[in-house]
Amino acid sequence: MDFELNEDLRLIRDMAREFAEKELMPRATGHDRNGTIDPEVFEKIGELGFWGLTTPEEYGGAGMGSVALSVVLEELNRACASTGVTVSVHNSLLGTPLGKFGTDAQKERYFPKLATGETIGAYCLTEANAGSDAASLRCRAEDKGDSFLVNGEKVWVTNAAWAGLFLVYVRTDENASRAKGISALLVPSDTPGLTVEKAEKKCGIRGSATNVVQFSDVLVPKDALLGELNGGFQVAMDTLDGGRIGIASQAVGIGRACLEASIKYSKEREQFNQPIGNFQAIQWKLADMSTRLEASRMLVRQAAWTRDRGAPCTQESAQAKLFASRTANFCADECLQIHGGAGYTDDFHVERLFRDARITEIYEGATDIQRLIIARKLLA
């Protein structure tokens, strides 16, 4: 097995790293404090082609896969997790299912603008009473002949405030049991009756947009159906396999930022007339952080490589997200401990890393859900 990135992947990694260091790192604290991402960042992401990283070339995208996306996301999240999750959701939770389940007409209509970032994508699955138990969702789409009439509410919708296209999961068969009556719809943001409402005030990733989305008598044409009627739950689960690779990549990026900050501080901070990096207690923390990060990256690459081959990757993506997200939080905790009281203030960016890391164990499948997925695969 070759663990080296090929020339194309090294090139795109270097592009992402340069962009992250020059454009995102200087802005990351501002994104966090202002609760939004600078519009210039979105434009530059478009110029680099990262909005269309997984979009097929015939529609103006880069035509690359999950490995390339994971490489880019690690670099972006090392600098700014708010920007990283925005790019991740756009590519993995909307672009990928559109490419896999969309009709030719849907791809021709949406992909060109998605590839440039003129249209940003969002994913509407979670509801107030349907989180880990996504099959219990109640947002309803009533059959009206040539269209669906959608009513309901979605919560925790990443990218909602600036999205131009929503992938919305709705119940289309009230008589079917749980997952069997769910469908997926592509709904443009300018559809009458669709409103983006409450913006969540979050612990971390504060620059990203997270909102409640309301659907009040929203008429959606039948050709907006993504995949088969009442087959939406399968679309959602397949999509989340890719999404979890994206969040695992985010976790590696955040953890890497924690390790780098810890190494730097350990060389600069002196106690007892020597750098604290000379002390074994600090050295062991750095060693454990580095080892867990390397293992996390390998799990992410394996899951992404498996998905790019078109093979089932549910277990691999769950393992990558489980371990990488736990590692990100471990690294953030150790990083803050190494920085001591200084790290607990906003004079150092490590307090932001600490807050940003926490969400990786929650969204796109909480830690305990990943354990359930893995165990079910093992016991099947």
In terms of domains, do 129 and 211 share one? yes
From 207, 231, 255, the end of a domain falls on: 231
Q: Which CATH number do you get for residue 334?
A: 1.20.140.10
pLDDT digit string (tens) for 270-313?
999 999 999 999 999 999 999 999 999 999 999 999 999 999 99
Query: What is 287-331 written as a DSSP string?
Result: HHHHHHHHHHHHHHHHHHHHHHTT---HHHHHHHHHHHHHHHHHH
Q: Which CATH number do you get for residue 168?
A: 2.40.110.10
Q: What is residue 1's predicted lDDT score, i.e. its pLDDT? A: 63
Considering the domain boundaries, does residue 277 fall inside one? yes
Number of domains forming the structure of the chain: 3
In terms of domains, do 298 and 202 share one? no
Considering the domain boundaries, does residue 265 fall inside one? yes
From 231, 248, 283, the end of a domain falls on: 231
Q: What residues are annotated to the active site?
A: 364
In terms of domains, do 113 and 151 share one? no
Q: How far apart (Å, rounded) are the C-alpha atoms in residues 166 and 159?
A: 9
Considering the domain boundaries, does residue 2 fall inside one? no
At residue 167, the 3 state secondary structure works out as strand
Q: What is residue 2's predicted lDDT score, i.e. its pLDDT? A: 74
In terms of domains, do 137 and 99 share one? no
Considering the domain boundaries, does residue 46 fall inside one? yes
pLDDT digit string (tens) for 174-222?
999 899 999 999 999 999 999 999 999 999 999 999 999 999 999 999 9
Determine how β-strand 140-143 pairs with β-strand 182-188. unpaired
Considering the domain boundaries, does residue 1 fall inside one? no
Q: What is residue 189's predicted lDDT score, i.e. its pLDDT? A: 98
At residue 348, the 3 state secondary structure works out as coil
Q: How far apart (Å, rounded) are the C-alpha atoms in residues 365 and 319?
A: 12
In terms of domains, do 211 and 256 share one? no
List, in sequence order, every residue forming a beta bridge with 187; answer none if it has no partner: 166
In terms of domains, do 45 and 106 share one? yes
In terms of domains, do 258 and 155 share one? no
Q: What is residue 177's predicted lDDT score, i.e. its pLDDT? A: 86
Q: What is residue 176's predicted lDDT score, i.e. its pLDDT? A: 92
* Domain residue limits at 150: 122-231
| Mean pLDDT, the chain, integer | 97
At residue 121, the 3 state secondary structure works out as strand
In terms of domains, do 79 and 12 share one? yes
In terms of domains, do 226 and 257 share one? no
In terms of domains, do 372 and 248 share one? yes
Q: Which CATH number do you get for residue 84?
A: 1.10.540.10
Q: Exposed e or buried b for every residue in 7-35, given b needs 16+ CB within 10 A? A: eebeebbeebbebbeebbeebbeebbeeb
Q: How far apart (Å, rounded) are the C-alpha atoms in residues 228 and 234?
A: 10
**Cβ pair 126, 155 in contact under 8 A:** yes
> Which regions in the chain score pLDDT beneath 70?
1
SS3 sequence of 14-46: HHHHHHHHHHHHHHHHHHHHHCCCCHHHHHHHH
Considering the domain boundaries, does residue 286 fall inside one? yes
Considering the domain boundaries, does residue 344 fall inside one? yes
From 231, 250, 280, the end of a domain falls on: 231
In terms of domains, do 256 and 372 share one? yes
| Closest listed residue to residue 244, CA positions, set 371, 342, 335, 351 | 371
Considering the domain boundaries, does residue 283 fall inside one? yes
What pTM does this model have? 0.96
In terms of domains, do 255 and 347 share one? yes
